[in-house]
Amino acid sequence: MKFFVDTAEIDAIAELNDLGMVDGVTTNPSLIKKSGRDIIEVTKEICALVDGPVSAEVTATDADTMIAEGRKLAEIAENIAVKVPLTWDGLKACKVLSGEGKMVNVTLCFSANQAILAAKAGATFISPFIGRLDDINLDGMDLIADIRNVYDNYAFETQILAASIRSANHVLESARIGADVMTAPPAVIKAMVNHPLTDKGLDAFLKDIAAAEIKIL
């Protein structure tokens, strides 16, 4: 499974990228605002830092303006994936932009029916939002499984990008089901290393080497 990091913080992306933990980046206006940077400037810097797709989101809601914004965003770098909402106008924009050879990430997906439409419109990525479904007492993983099943039935090439990831368990379950990609904040990716038995084992090891007065350097 590919790892995208969901942030616009350059230092956080660079740290994970150096470890080989970044296959791409997802951003949105809220994340850009949080970074305190100009949207074009920070997006260009991210694109230069990572080799994989960098999702940059349009701000318009009508198809024509989304298309115009998408074309402008795509000029930033070759690895831009234009992010559009899963609305009828968003699908129109997806069809045009993907037809021009641009990567498109269709976001805010909450049903398999929506995912089918996005695939038919030529989406490169479909972003089902796991955490937000969990928030309303629905199982976000059921949606990932439904989309995986439908896409496999018809060999759709659109990649399932599990989004709104809130925990390391979300990452694991998405991988089990077969999501092509997951995007998560840096803190969630780092949390995947944590296990109480690892901590316990390391503590015992440190006590043993201290008692034996073992030094390598």
**Res 114 pLDDT > 80:** yes
Structure tokens, 41:
């400037």
> How many domains does the chain fold into?
1
So what's the pLDDT on residue 181? 98
Q: What is the CATH number of the domain that holds 163?
A: 3.20.20.70
Rounded-to-integer distance, Cα 147 and Cα 150, Å: 5
The answer to the question of residue 128 being in a domain is: yes
Per-residue pLDDT at 34 = 79
Per-residue model confidence (pLDDT) at position 33: 80
pLDDT at 129: 98
Range 106-113 contact pairs with CB under 8 angstroms and sequence separation of 24 or more: 107/55, 107/57, 107/83, 107/163, 109/143, 109/147, 110/86, 110/143, 111/143, 112/143, 112/146, 112/147, 112/150
Q: Which domain holds residue 58?
A: 2-192
CB atoms near residue 162 (< 10 Å) = 30
Using pLDDT thresholds of 50, 70 and 90, give the confidence band for residue 123: very high
Amino acid at 51: D
Q: How far is CA 194 from its chain centroid? A: 21
Question: Would residue 10 count as lying in a domain?
Answer: yes
Per-residue pLDDT at 169: 97
pLDDT of residue 100: 98
- Within a domain: 31: yes
Residue 206 lies in a domain: no
The percentage of residues in the chain with a pLDDT greater than 90, rounded to a whole number, is 91
The answer to whether residue 163 sits within a structural domain is: yes
Q: Which residues of 49-61 are buried (b: 16+ CB within 10 A; e: fewer)?
A: ebebbbbbbbebe
Residue 214 located in a structural domain: no
Per-residue pLDDT band at 86 (split at 50, 70, 90): very high
Residues 47 and 53: their CA atoms lie apart, in Å, by 8
Residue range 185-195, pLDDT digits in tens: 999 999 999 99
pTM of the model: 0.95
**Does residue 160 have a pLDDT over 80?**
yes
Instruction: Just list the catalytic residues.
Output: 83
- Tens digits of per-residue pLDDT, 38-76? 889 999 999 999 999 999 999 999 999 999 999 999 999
Residue 201 domain-assigned? no
Residue position matching structure tokens 């230092």: 11
Give the separation between CA 185 and CA 163, rounded to whole angstroms: 10
Q: Please state, rounded to an integer, the average pLDDT across all residues of the chain.
A: 96
Residue 48 lies in a domain: yes
Query: Does position 88 have pLDDT exceeding 90, yes or no?
Result: yes
pLDDT at 46: 96
